[in-house]
Structure 1
Amino acid sequence: MLDYATLKIIWWVLVGVLLVGFAIMDGHDMGVGTLLPFAGRIDEERRVVINTVGPHWDGNQVWFITAGGAIFAAWPLVYATAFSGFYWALLAVLWALFFRPVGFDYRSKIHDARWRSTWDWGLFVGGAVPPLIFGVAFGNLLQGVPFQFDDYLVSTYTGSFWQLLNPFALLAGVVSSAMITMHGGTYLAHRTEGVIQSRAISAARGAALVTIMAFVAAGLWLRVGGIEGFAMAQTPDPNALPDPLAKVVVRSAEGWWTNYQHQPALWALPLLGVLGPAAAAALVSVRRTLSAFVASSLAMLGIIGTAGAAMFPFIMPSSSMPNASLTVWDSVSSPMTLALMLGATVIFMPLIVLYTSWAYRVMRGKVTVEHIRANEHTAY
């Protein structure tokens, strides 16, 4: 039987895996949606773009739903506090995502240019808005979120919606948006040919360059721009029952760099976050599109992993009441809940991976205009 402290670490890793899996799998769908109005100039070209992700996008949403469910069950205090502070931002994500199922299903039902163009831009919103907001959220986490707990552990968000849209958070949003666009561009280049592939390659290269520049700029801003991190001055017992107020947290200029100082091997993550987009851009330029997609996936692992490694053990630090910051040790569910969830994950996660792999293998290959014309009533 695993002890409580080990279960806490395991679920920190598993939530990270789910978030990276969501970014890779649903991220390329969103990236393709972001590129839809630009990679496809006429109706048939846009149908080609949509059909590269049409058969898979809803299956890839499993990663998003599972990640949200895992946070709800494994980190209930994080879930509750995040929905308090990020309420309108998360609603904006939900509203943007509404365009995706309706757009995919109804876009080509009516042969009307205005109807189809409207849904094309709806799919663009559904692909472009969520990554931007998720990036802004990460930017705010790195600065600390203004919330606090009372004696009954009821959280109160003391900031405003507009406070979330600060310059550093917006830069983090640029990192996220460019990263997802790069990923969608490499996937679109892999599944198409001709003029659509050329546009996808150009978009992937440009987005990769923006990803590198914004990622490096964000790192420098954290290091020398006056943004203080968080550090434990007194760590709670890892095996103790959760109590967010049973610790002492201080702000420190070295806060987000402490783990990298103690574990130099972690520098492989930001290095991957820089070299991955560069490799993706180089590989997609010479039409090695599958390798470019893998490089783009590794870049996402590096960028998301960089933030996760820097913040550990913090999950949601508080800028207004640092001692109330939520960490791996004090924001989790009971040992029984974590153990039961771990058992379900061990069973079902491999099944999801196997089914997804099989689906992509069956529906692999190029999508062309000729394919759309030959399957007028079955293609998206």
Structure 2
Amino acid sequence: MLNYEFLCIIWSIIIGILLIGFLITDGLDMGVGILLFIIGKNDMDRRMMINTIAPHWDGNQVWLITAAGAIFAAWPIVYATMFSYFYVAMILLLLALFLRPVGFEYRSKIKNRKWKKICDFCISIGSFFPPVIIGIALGNLLQGIPFYIDKYYNIYSQRDFYKLFNLFSIIISITIVLMIINQASSYLQIRIKDYNLNHKLNIIIKLSSILLLLFFILSFISTLFFIKGYKLNNFYIRNNNIIYESKAWMSNFNNHIYLYIIPLFSVILSLLTILFSILKKFIMVLISSILTTISIVLTVGVTMFPFIIPSSIKPYQSLTIWNATSSQLTLNIMLYIVIIFMPIVLIYTFWCYKKMFFRLNKKKIKKKSDFYY
């Protein structure tokens, strides 16, 4: 049986990989949904965009379900606390996600322009709100949420929905939305062959890259210098010795200076996305955009580690990977399952994208009209 501390770190990495997988795969779908009415000026434009993600959108949502399941099994108290405090936000997230399959599956059932537009609105709304809510939740987690746990392990939190929408969490939310728009526009650029749409996507890629760069820098500086953070006096500590003060989120970076290379990569990769777009190296644009997403998520992970849910009421009750993780036996059994099935899922996902990776145009859609959404 593996060492418990080692298992705690391994499972934080696994959950991080699942969240990255969700933001890359389902992020592409949601980004396309957000862009539907921004660059899609008619039914044919939107139809081409929708059919680039049609074979994958439902499979991609498995990453979110798997991540939620992993959190439930590996960090049960985190799952309980998060779903308790963010209850209203989670319900809104689920309602938004319910709209997406309605839009996708029923769009082509009725040959009516208004009906198709309603379905497109369902896809667009269902794609816009999840990243907004995820960004709002992340912004509040970085600031700490007002909860405490009594001696019977009952969780109490001050749930004021309107307080979730503060300036810092809105900045984080905008950053998340820009990140997936940047990914989606890079993806659409190599999946669609249409002069008007490709021209608009070129503009969107450059604009979203610039805005993402600015908002990421703003978010990172705000996190390190302008909000109170949390740090442990001892990395492996499990008692109440947690410090809550300004600039505390800098501790991991200050203790390991080389970690600054991760946010630096986010900046460099955003600039490379712009450069590759100018050079019309569209495959490289997509790769650099995806790597930007990965580096941004890693920046958040490094900043908060080992904290998962900090408490702003009783900082010493903050949930970390050391005090919120399941038993050693549970983690071991789950690890064996992951070792077997995660490679299968990754290989299958890659194979699906490779097999269905072809360019769409108006002629192809019209030729097989009943085949496409």
In the alignment, which residue of structure 2 is the partner of 1:364?
357
Aligned-partner Cα distance in 2 for 1:292–1:308: 24
Percent of residue pairs bearing the same amino acid type: 38
**8 A contact 1:315–1:326 mirrored in 2:** yes
Residues 79-125 of structure 1 deviation map (CA, whole Å, 9 limit, x = unaligned): 00000111111111111111111111111222222111111111111
Please report the TM-score for the alignment, with normalisation by the length of structure 2. Answer: 0.97
Q: Which amino acid aligns with 1:334?
A: S
Q: Which amino acid aligns with 1:15?
A: I
- Give the 3-state SS of the residue equivalent to 2:365 in structure 1: helix
Q: Which amino acid aligns with 2:112?
A: D
Taking the TM superposition and a 5 Å limit, the aligned residue runs for 1:9-28 are: 9-28=9-28
In the alignment, which residue of structure 1 is the partner of 2:300?
307
Aligned-partner Cα distance in 2 for 1:295–1:327: 32
Q: Which amino acid aligns with 2:167?
A: P
Q: Shift of residue 235 of structure 1?
A: 6.2
Q: Which amino acid aligns with 2:183?
A: H
In the alignment, which residue of structure 1 is the partner of 2:327?
334
Q: Shift of residue 237 of structure 1?
A: 5.4
Pairwise CA RMSD = 1.3
Taking the TM superposition and a 5 Å limit, the aligned residue runs for 1:104-253 are: 104-193=104-193, 194-225=195-226, 227-233=227-233, 246-253=239-246
**8 A contact 2:225–2:247 mirrored in 1:** no
Q: Which amino acid aligns with 2:278?
A: S
Aligned-partner Cα distance in 2 for 1:333–1:8: 9
Is structure 2 residue 72 aligned with structure 1 residue 72?
yes
Is structure 2 residue 285 aligned with structure 1 residue 284?
no
Residues 213-261 of structure 1 deviation map (CA, whole Å, 9 limit, x = unaligned): 1111112222332x111112466657xxxxxxx3221212231111101
Please report the TM-score for the alignment, with normalisation by the length of structure 1. Answer: 0.95
**8 A contact 1:147–1:159 mirrored in 2:** no
Instruction: Work out which of the residue numbers 337, 340, 347 in structure 1 matches 2:340.
Output: 347
- Give the 3-state SS of the residue equivalent to 1:251 in structure 2: strand
- Give the 3-state SS of the residue equivalent to 2:370 in structure 1: coil
**8 A contact 1:99–1:125 mirrored in 2:** yes
- Give the 3-state SS of the residue equivalent to 1:318 in structure 2: coil
Aligned-partner Cα distance in 2 for 1:102–1:287: 36
- Give the 3-state SS of the residue equivalent to 2:2 in structure 1: coil
In the alignment, which residue of structure 2 is the partner of 1:32?
32
Aligned-partner Cα distance in 1 for 2:247–2:237: 23
Q: Which has the higher mean CA deviation after the structures are superposed, 319-328 or 151-160?
A: 151-160
In the alignment, which residue of structure 1 is the partner of 2:366?
373
In the alignment, which residue of structure 2 is the partner of 1:316?
309
**8 A contact 1:103–1:119 mirrored in 2:** yes
Q: Which amino acid aligns with 2:124?
A: F
Q: Which amino acid aligns with 2:4?
A: Y
Q: Which amino acid aligns with 2:89?
A: A
For the structure 1 residues 212 and 237, does the alpha-carbon distance in structure 2 shift closer, same or farther, using more than 3 Å as the test?
Answer: closer
Taking the TM superposition and a 5 Å limit, the aligned residue runs for 1:46-65 are: 46-65=46-65
Instruction: Work out which of the residue numbers 272, 276, 286 in structure 2 matches 1:293.
Output: 286
Q: Which amino acid aligns with 1:178?
A: L
Aligned-partner Cα distance in 2 for 1:285–1:237: 49
In the alignment, which residue of structure 1 is the partner of 2:250?
257
For the structure 1 residues 29 and 168, does the alpha-carbon distance in structure 2 shift closer, same or farther, using more than 3 Å as the test?
Answer: same
Q: Which amino acid aligns with 1:138?
A: L
Q: Shift of residue 44 of structure 1?
A: 1.2
Is structure 2 residue 262 aligned with structure 1 residue 269?
yes
For the structure 1 residues 285 and 118, does the alpha-carbon distance in structure 2 shift closer, same or farther, using more than 3 Å as the test?
Answer: farther
Counting matched residue pairs gives: 372
Residues 304-358 of structure 1 deviation map (CA, whole Å, 9 limit, x = unaligned): 1111101111000000110110001010111111111111111111101111111
